[in-house]
Structures are given as C-alpha cells and as structure tokens.
C-alpha cells in the first residue's frame, strides 16, 4: 500500500477541480501554496475532514548544492495549519 491520499482544494465551501496527491495534508498544502493559494482548505477524499492552512511564498537564495540551471533566487512555499473541520 502506497499511503497516497487525495486532497481536493475547496474555495468558498465548494470543491474545485484541483486535486493534490500526498501522504500528508501538509504536503498537499505546500503544493497549493506553490501555486499562489493563500487561504487553503483541503478536503480529504473518502472522509469528512477538511484541513485548513494559511499559505505564503517567499523568494530565497538557491541552495548551495542546487543545479547550475536553477536561478539565483527561487520561490519557496510555507504553510501553517489552522486546524481541521468536519463536514
């Protein structure tokens, strides 16, 4: 068993077409934050749980061991979990 979970991005209490796959809800939230979403609500498929996060991105220096093609500044996503809700 791979442990993959599917998280559907919600906006205004309604599902969107965006689905993120990750083992943990934080991983899915980081993917959503990378795309520029700041108020993140992820519904876990197959359950009645909605994970709520606040997301933001910031420009940081590339890592020292980064590949040569990577630009000097990269966009890094961060999330902070606010809690969970039940539907």
pLDDT (tens digit, 9 = 90+) per residue, 13-70? 899 999 999 999 999 999 999 999 999 999 999 999 999 999 999 999 999 999 999 9
The three-point CA angle 45-37-3 to 5° equals: 30
- Give dist(CA 18, CA 75) in Å, integer: 21
Task: Delimit the domains of the chain by residue range.
Answer: 5-86
**pTM for the complete prediction?**
0.89
> Which ranges of the chain does DSSP label H, i.e. alpha helix?
25-34
Q: Judge whether 53 and 79 are in contact, CB under 8 Å.
A: yes
């Amino acid at each position: 068993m791979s442990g993959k979970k599917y998280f559907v991005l919600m906006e205004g209490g309604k599902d969107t077409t965006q689905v993120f796959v990750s083992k943990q809800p934080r991983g899915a939230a980081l993917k959503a934050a990378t795309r520029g979403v700041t108020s993140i609500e992820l519904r876990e498929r197959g359950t009645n749980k909605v994970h709520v996060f606040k997301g933001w991105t910031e420009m940081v220096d590339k890592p020292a061991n980064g590949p040569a093609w990577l630009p000097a500044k990269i966009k890094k996503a961060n999330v902070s979990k606010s809690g969970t809700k039940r539907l």
